[in-house]
């Protein structure tokens, strides 16, 4: 058992641990041995406008997509929760289903659709497409926290005369906030890391970071790309940390998490 855990851990970590030091490679190869240590590739990224623009685009798209996914996924979850059992099952299947559609199929379908609307190559097309992938994640996590709520809470609020909106704002939303936030983080990272759909929908102005990475990967394997990767991983690390903190603070509410 210990051996297989060790193997699994090595399998997970070693590739990442191996590739990261290449960001500091003095030479221009993406291979070992390192030709001296240098920060030149960090400088190359910082002074290269396309990388910076791609990073800015990724944030812009991911924030927009997360916002839209929160509204859509959140409303879907609340609506599904309030539906009858059979309807709820159908709605659940519908709202979760984008996760099962192969991204290439989604990409081609959206490419056609947005082409028809004249939206290809715009931020809006990317935001909507990524929101469509983020919404199921928000939906699932909000639904989970809604299920964890004791129904008496809302009944109590209702018996005190609180209106539907009032009950939502003062009781449900605060209690399901961790669900919304978890969903938001998932949706954000999903958008930030999405390649295939963006590949079909970006234009030069809207190029996102994964697309810039993909182009760099096929173009020339230089340490710049590891520099960007390292920064992304650090960002992910921060998000994981935030997520862990959230989980902890949400623990008393989550029933069976």
Partner 1 sequence: MIRSKGGALATLLLLLPPLALYVGVYLLPMLAFGGASVDNGVLGQRFPRLAAWAASAAPVDDAAAVALLADLGVLRPEERAEAARMLNQDQPGFRSLIMTTGNAAGTIGPGLAALRSFDARWAEDRFWFSLRQNLEPVTWRHFRKALGLGLSPDGGITRVEGGDIYLRIMLRTLVIGFEVAALTVLIGYPLAYAVVNAGPRLRGLVLGAVLLGFWTSILVRTTAWVVLLQTNGLINGLLLRLGLVDAPLPLIFNRFGTVVAITHVLLPFAILPIVNVMRQIPAAQRDASRSLGAGPIETFLRVYLPQTLRGVAVGGGTVFILALGFYVTPALVGGPGDQMLAYYIADFMQKQLNWGMASALGIMLLAAVAAVLALWFVPRLFAAPSARRP
Partner 2 sequence: MLKLFSGAVMLAVGLSAGAQARDLTFASWGGNYQDAQRAAFFKPFAAQKGISFAEDTYLGGLADIKAMAETGQVKWDLVMVERADLILGCDEGLFEKLDWAKLGAADLLPTAIHPCGAGAVVVSYGIGYNKNGAGKAPQTWADFWDLKTWPGKRGLRAGPKMNMELALIADGVAPADVYKVLATPEGVDRAFRKLDEIKPSLQFWDAGAQPVDWLSTGNVAMSSAYNGRISNAVADGKPLGFVWTNNIYGMDSWAIPAKAPNKELAMEFIAFANTPAPQAEFPKYIPYGTSNVKAADLMAPDLRANLPAGVNMDTALFMDDVFWADHFDQISVRWNNWATQ
Q: Which residues in the 38-67 window bind partner 1 by CB under 8 A?
A: none
Q: Alpha-carbon distance 107 to 91, whole Å?
A: 23
Q: Quick one: which of 61, 142, 175, 189 contacts partner 1 (CB under 8 A)?
A: 189
Contact window for partner 2 (CB under 8 A) among 98-106, 115-123, 187-195, 224-232: 115-123
Strands (E), 44-119: none
Q: Residue 131, interface with partner 2 (CB under 8 A)?
A: yes
Compute and round to an integer the Cα radius of gyration of the chain.
22
Taking residues 2 to 41 in sequence order and writing x for each that binds partner 1 by CB under 8 A, - otherwise, the string is: --xx-xxx-xxxxxx-xx--x-------xxx---------
What gap in Å lies between CA 167 and CA 160, rounded to an integer?
A: 10
Q: Of 11-70, which residues contact partner 2 (CB under 8 A)?
A: 28-29, 31, 60-61, 63-65, 67-68, 70
DSSP 22: G
The minimum distance between CB 81 and partner 2, in angstroms, equals: 15
- CB nearer to partner 2: give 169 or 248: 169
Q: Give how far the C-alpha of residue 169 lies from the chain's centroid of Cα atoms, to the nearest Å.
A: 26
According to DSSP, the residues that pair with 25 across neighbouring strands are 37
Q: Which does 90 bind (CB under 5 to 8 A by kind): partner 2, partner 1, none?
A: none
CB neighbour class for 25 (10 Å; exposed up to 12, middle 13-18, buried from 19): buried
Segment (H or E) for 3: helix 2-19
User: Could you tell me which stretch among 3-11, 18-26, 111-119, 143-151 binds partner 2 (CB under 8 A)?
Assistant: 111-119
């Amino acid at each position: 058992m210990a051996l297989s855990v060790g193997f699994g851990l090595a399998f997970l970590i070693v590739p990442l641990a191996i590739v990261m030091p290449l960001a500091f490679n003095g030479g221009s190869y993406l291979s070992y041995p390192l030709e001296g240590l240098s920060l030149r590739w960090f400088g190359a990224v910082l002074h290269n406008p396309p990388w910076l623009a791609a990073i800015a685009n990724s944030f812009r798209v991911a924030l927009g997509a997360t916002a839209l996914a929160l509204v859509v996924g959140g409303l879907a979850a609340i609506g599904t929760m309030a539906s009858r059992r059979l309807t709820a099952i159908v709605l659940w299947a519908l709202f979760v289903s984008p996760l099962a559609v192969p991204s290439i199929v989604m990409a081609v379908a959206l490419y056609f659709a947005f082409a028809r609307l004249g939206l290809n190559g715009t931020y809006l097309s990317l935001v909507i497409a990524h929101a469509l992938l983020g919404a199921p994640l928000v939906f699932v996590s909000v639904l989970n926290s809604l299920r964890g709520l004791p129904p008496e809470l809302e009944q109590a609020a209702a018996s005190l005369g609180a209106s539907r909106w009032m009950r939502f704002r003062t009781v449900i939303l605060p209690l399901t906030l961790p669900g919304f936030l978890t969903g938001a983080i998932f949706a954000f990272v999903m958008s930030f890391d999405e390649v295939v759909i963006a590949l079909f929908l970006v234009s030069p102005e809207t190029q996102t970071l994964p697309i810039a990475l993909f182009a760099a990967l096929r173009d020339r394997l230089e340490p710049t790309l590891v520099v960007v990767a390292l920064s992304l991983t650090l960002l992910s690390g921060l998000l994981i940390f935030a997520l862990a903190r959230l989980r902890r603070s949400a623990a008393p509410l989550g029933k069976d998490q």
